[in-house]
Amino acid sequence: MEKIKKIDIHAHATPFPQYVPKHKDNQERCLSDEELIGLYEKLDIEMGVLLPCVSPEAQTHPNTSEAAKFMVDKHPDRFVWFCNIDPRSVYNLPTTDHTYLLEHYKSLGAKGLGEMTINMYIDDPMLENLFACCAEVDMPVTIHMAPEVGGYYGIVDDLGLPRLEKLLKKYPKLKILGHSHHFWAEITKLANEEERNGSQWSKVVPGTIERLMRECPNLYGDLSAGSGGTAMMRDPEYAAKFMTEFADRLFYGTDICDIPSTFPGNLPYDFAAFLDNMAETGMISMDVYKKIVRENAIKFLNLDLD
């Protein structure tokens, strides 16, 4: 098969690995830009999107927009970046005009906003205000989704993602990249919270994600991490149909963030191999494969690549 270099829609790194705290229990730490490039060499990834995380729920220390931009300046041929803003920024108000900051980061080359990890309901006025500002300046947003407030990081929705649906339909110009377990769990029909929180390896009975992707052209799928990878690998027949129908709005990704990696097994390698194999065996067309692992990112992020 023709070798296609992949583009990673979702990764995290720090330019200051010597300063960032290690995880108390397992001594993992955020990896450096150079370490991430080392993994990209092994995974045959040409370029990745660096996502800052600024809300305190997700980590011990903020990973800022400025740090992401700094790493892009060091390695402009390997990285692009999103900026990030906590919706409580500048006076903790639902009326703050964030377009000023968004335009600032956009002028420095930011391609979007995320990963949004604040643990607040999606339709909290403060968060909705930030989404509206992103729609206004055409900044796509990568969301990490959680099931409740407290004990999680990520924006909160109920079973069946009704609040996300309302948001997507209210702001048709807002582009959302869906990510995390509680987003991709909805690929299958879910009966209750237990199923929503549980591990996800059974065959897919088409659920909320398929319907939302059909009804909301502004919803995109970030296939990174165990969540996105599992949603595809759990049921290759369904994955082939899903990837073919939504070939223009799905993105390959890794969500590599720590070293040594927290991924169970060899997830980034397994998922890359899974996609390669889907194309090699003809379960998806070469056209669909190329879009998902590379071409969609080039178009969506306006990258200077072929």
DSSP code string of 10-38: EE--BS-TTTSPPPTTT--EEPBHHHHHH
Q: 121's torsion region: left (phi>0), alpha (psi -120 to 50) or beta?
A: beta
Nearer to Zn ion, 210 or 255 (CB): 255
> Which uninterrupted H or E stretch holds 141?
strand 141-146
Contact at 8 Å (CB) between 224 and 253? yes
8 A C-beta contact, residue 145 and residue 138: no
User: At closest approach, how far in Å is the CB of 252 from Zn ion?
Assistant: 14
Residues that bind Zn ion (CB under 5 A): 115, 255
In 3D, which of 268, 204, 190 has the Cα closest to residue 237? 204
In terms of DSSP bridges, do strands 141-146 and 113-116 run parallel, antiparallel, or are they unpaired?
A: parallel
Which single residue brings its beta carbon nearest to Zn ion? 255
* Amino acid residing at 208: T
User: What SS3 state is found at 82?
Assistant: coil
Task: Say how far apart CA 262 and CA 17 lie, in whole Å.
Answer: 17
Do residues 142 and 114 touch, judged by C-beta distance below 8 A? yes
CB nearer Zn ion, residue 53 or residue 167: 53
Using left for φ > 0, alpha for ψ between -120 and 50, and beta otherwise, residue 138 falls in left
Whichever of 15 and 114 has its CB closer to Zn ion, that residue is: 114
Please state, in angstroms and rounded to a whole number, the distance separating the CA atoms of residues 283 and 233.
13
DSSP states along 40-63: HHHHTEEEEEE--B-SGGG-SS-B
Length of the chain: 306
